[in-house]
Structure 1
Amino acid sequence: MPFTSSQIRAAAWVAIALLAFLVLRALGPVLTPFIVAAVLAYALTPLVDRLAASGRGRMPRALAALVVELLFLFALACIFLLVVPVVAKELPLIRQQLPTVLDRLDAAVAPWLNQFGFRVSLDLASMKERLLGYLNANWSTAFPSLWTSLKLGGSVALTVLGNVLLVPVALFYLLLDWKPFVARVLELVPPRARPGVDSFTAECDQVLGQYLRGQLLVMATMAVYYSTGLALFGLDLALPIGVFTGLAMFVPYLGFGFGLLLATFAGLLQFAPGEAFLMIAVVYGSGQVVEGFFITPRLVGERIGLHPLAVIFALLAFAQVLGFVGVLVALPASAVLLVAIRRVRHGYLASRLYQS
């Protein structure tokens, strides 16, 4: 039975997708800085376009790309200098406050459990002794161990440093030549298939652009919100935890969950358990309501359109297969797959096979 032209084209596209997947998996560590740069370039290209078009188009695009990239790197440096010193200053306090936290938990939890008939007896003295002994021993050997690890894994450290330095370079060239680069890729599409590919890429661009650019605004807004809310409750680590929670929302659910755990732990170190849980409930509970019903619908719209379980599955599946690169490409790739699935479903519903 001879194959039709549509079946041959479908098989060719499947083969191309499979080949791209195998290349991405094999060259994941090498492609990581380029993928990071590509994601950033996609999000920052509209700013470069607007800046280059300002002043009646007199600003060279190279200068506009350089200005946008420097502003972006300056924002990252400000966040780093804002968060790291505060955390480094507060970390030694954890060792001092842990015994108090254990006493507070025992005083708050044990009477509450007794009301329901649960008799809990905690050997707090032994727990504190073992925990403090572990922390003191590891604290004194942390920096020597870190230095030894850096010496033993010097090649890994150099690789990470090389990738960090390569991202800005790749980002500049992608910002400079983004449109010509996309145009050269589209030139490889056969003329007969060009209308369908253009429609497909336009829909993908709408979905991805709405998500990436809107999500950046959501992250910045929620970082301010969580920092302000935690600061109003008097949390010492309000600024770094709030900024981290907002920025970590780029990874849906996982980032928010990790920020929630950090805030809970910091609150238990500083406040009584009841006050800490009240702070978490008010700040993070109201934050989810504000973000889910007001900020995200206005800034991002319907986002990618994926169900929350589908987002979690995509993150775990891509991370399992491709590692860190998979986390970076999970949501963009899921958005493209979603557009493709919608088109396949629409074609199937309009086909004779379904109507018969």
Structure 2
Amino acid sequence: MGSVQQRIIVVALIAAFVLLYLLQPILMPFLTGMLLAYMGDPFADWLEERGLTRRISVVLVFLSLSFMFVLFLLFLIPLLGKQLSLIQEFIPVAVHWLKSTAMPLLEQYTGVEENAFELDAIQKAITGHLSQAGSLAGAIIKEVGQSGMALIGAVINIGLIPVVTFYLLLDWDRLKLKVLSLFPRRYQAKTEALALECDEVLGSFIKGQLLVMLCLSVIYATGLWLVGLKLALLVGLVAGLASIVPYLGAIIGIGAGLLAGWFQFGDWLPLVWIALVFGVGQLLESFALTPLLVGDKIGLHPVTVIFAIMAGGQLAGFVGVLIALPVAAVVMVLLRHLHDYYKDNDEPNTAYLSGRPESDESMDTDQ
């Protein structure tokens, strides 16, 4: 690669990063649409292989995504609102248990007084936040009066998501070829190989892990509902979403489930059933869901996942959270190839590796 090409690539990369930083406020609908198009493209390709045109395939996939989103809004959000109201009922019971049982034991063994925790103030703060969360419509109406332009901008951004998704999904294959053609011809084969490897990692993680999270949410929520837990939907959904990091969902879910079960039932037997639900979920995830839906080519360590999400949120807010895992997967692939390139171009000292220093060879030659 010539020096002029290298300078052009460096300038283009710097300009791209600067533009991404400056355009953060308007990137959300485009990145969300890109993610949805990336997830829907395999289904559109599958329909094309069965004789449908690209446009009809995209319309069917787009309608399916829209139906699932509308179903989510109509079914889950009202149920989650009821779950939040149930938490408000549990808070006085939990505070009473802390005052009557837990705090005397803590004061007896550690000497910490009950007043040090200000439980009444904590109860009022939590109840106030839950009340605000439960009256979402009122908060939106209030926001309309205070900052109408900001709300209009948010509505426009949300409305752009389906438009961007549709057109990206329609031209996804052509866009990939156009992006590939931007690279010098001598590097297009290597670039395509790297892109396919990145796609394999991203496909295994994003598409597969999202399906695993969805299945675990259904398993946990259904199992806890059969046990009789009132907060089954909320605990199951949180545990399923937290399963983006291996074992984190089970840890959070079983902790929240046992806590909610103790305050609801006040008996040990339901707690055993709750623990059994999460045990069955972990067995299904380890031996069925992850091998079938994700495979063994993720390549992202759980600590890397946590760091990537937190770093993305810190650097670019919600946009950073959206692109954190795809960027981490691509960077991991590139670093692995860079490391292989570094090792392949390393020229080891053959004399040293053979166990005979060069000085000894020179001495033998002189003799």
Task: Please give the TM-score of this superposition, normalised by the length of structure 1.
Answer: 0.82
- The correspondence for 1:226, drawn from 200, 220, 228, is 220
Whole-angstrom distance in 2 between the partners of 1:268 and 1:160: 41
Counterpart AA for 1:328:
L
Structure 2: gaps (5+ residues): 351-367
Whole-angstrom distance in 1 between the partners of 2:259 and 2:150: 32
Taking a change above 3 Å as real, the CA distance of residues 248 and 233 of structure 1, as seen in their structure-2 partners, is same
Aligned residue number for residue 35 of structure 1: 31
Whole-angstrom distance in 2 between the partners of 1:334 and 1:130: 38
Taking a change above 3 Å as real, the CA distance of residues 136 and 65 of structure 1, as seen in their structure-2 partners, is closer
Aligned residue number for residue 20 of structure 2: 24
Aligned residue number for residue 77 of structure 1: 70
State the 1:271 CA deviation: 3.6
Structure 1, residues 172-214: CA drift from partner, whole Å, max 9, x if none? 1111110011111111111111111111111111111222221
Structure 1: gaps (5+ residues): none
Per mean C-alpha deviation after superposition, the further-off stretch among 147-156 and 274-283 is: 274-283
Aligned residue number for residue 45 of structure 2: 49
- The correspondence for 2:96, drawn from 98, 103, 114, is 103
State the 1:341 CA deviation: 0.6
Taking a change above 3 Å as real, the CA distance of residues 76 and 153 of structure 1, as seen in their structure-2 partners, is same
Structure 1, residues 150-171: CA drift from partner, whole Å, max 9, x if none? 3212222222211111111111
1:297-316 aligned at under 5 Å gives the runs 297-316=291-310
Whole-angstrom distance in 1 between the partners of 2:272 and 2:114: 24
State the 1:19 CA deviation: 2.8
Whole-angstrom distance in 1 between the partners of 2:250 and 2:91: 24
Taking a change above 3 Å as real, the CA distance of residues 269 and 132 of structure 1, as seen in their structure-2 partners, is farther
Whole-angstrom distance in 1 between the partners of 2:109 and 2:269: 25
Taking a change above 3 Å as real, the CA distance of residues 251 and 138 of structure 1, as seen in their structure-2 partners, is closer
Aligned residue number for residue 152 of structure 1: 146
CA contact (8 A) 1:41 1:175 kept: yes
Counterpart AA for 2:192:
D
Taking a change above 3 Å as real, the CA distance of residues 306 and 136 of structure 1, as seen in their structure-2 partners, is closer
- Match of 2:298, SS state, is coil
Whole-angstrom distance in 2 between the partners of 1:29 and 1:137: 27
Whole-angstrom distance in 2 between the partners of 1:256 and 1:23: 40
RMSD (Å), alpha carbons: 3.6
Task: Please give the TM-score of this superposition, normalised by the length of structure 2.
Answer: 0.80
Counterpart AA for 1:33:
P
Aligned: 1:317 with 2:311 = yes
Structure 1, residues 29-51: CA drift from partner, whole Å, max 9, x if none? 21211111111111110111111
- Match of 1:304, SS state, is coil
Aligned residue number for residue 334 of structure 1: 328
Whole-angstrom distance in 1 between the partners of 2:106 and 2:314: 40
Aligned residue number for residue 53 of structure 2: 60
CA contact (8 A) 2:245 2:306 kept: no
Taking a change above 3 Å as real, the CA distance of residues 134 and 253 of structure 1, as seen in their structure-2 partners, is closer
CA contact (8 A) 2:95 2:123 kept: no
CA contact (8 A) 1:28 1:325 kept: yes
1:9-20 aligned at under 5 Å gives the runs 13-20=9-16
Aligned residue number for residue 351 of structure 1: 345
Whole-angstrom distance in 1 between the partners of 2:90 and 2:64: 39
The number of equivalent residue pairs is: 347
CA contact (8 A) 1:37 1:171 kept: yes
Counterpart AA for 1:51:
L
CA contact (8 A) 1:249 1:255 kept: yes
Larger RCO: 1 or 2 (CA < 8 Å, sep 6+) = 1
Q: Tell me the percent identity.
A: 35
Aligned: 1:167 with 2:158 = no
Whole-angstrom distance in 1 between the partners of 2:143 and 2:73: 23
The higher radius of gyration belongs to: 2
Taking a change above 3 Å as real, the CA distance of residues 271 and 163 of structure 1, as seen in their structure-2 partners, is farther
Counterpart AA for 2:58:
A
CA contact (8 A) 1:82 1:240 kept: no
Whole-angstrom distance in 2 between the partners of 1:23 and 1:134: 40
Whole-angstrom distance in 2 between the partners of 1:134 and 1:202: 48
- Match of 1:225, SS state, is helix
- Match of 1:352, SS state, is coil
CA contact (8 A) 1:105 1:273 kept: no
Counterpart AA for 1:210:
S
Taking a change above 3 Å as real, the CA distance of residues 104 and 220 of structure 1, as seen in their structure-2 partners, is same
Whole-angstrom distance in 2 between the partners of 1:101 and 1:63: 55
Taking a change above 3 Å as real, the CA distance of residues 244 and 211 of structure 1, as seen in their structure-2 partners, is same
Per mean C-alpha deviation after superposition, the further-off stretch among 177-186 and 207-216 is: 207-216
CA contact (8 A) 1:315 1:330 kept: yes
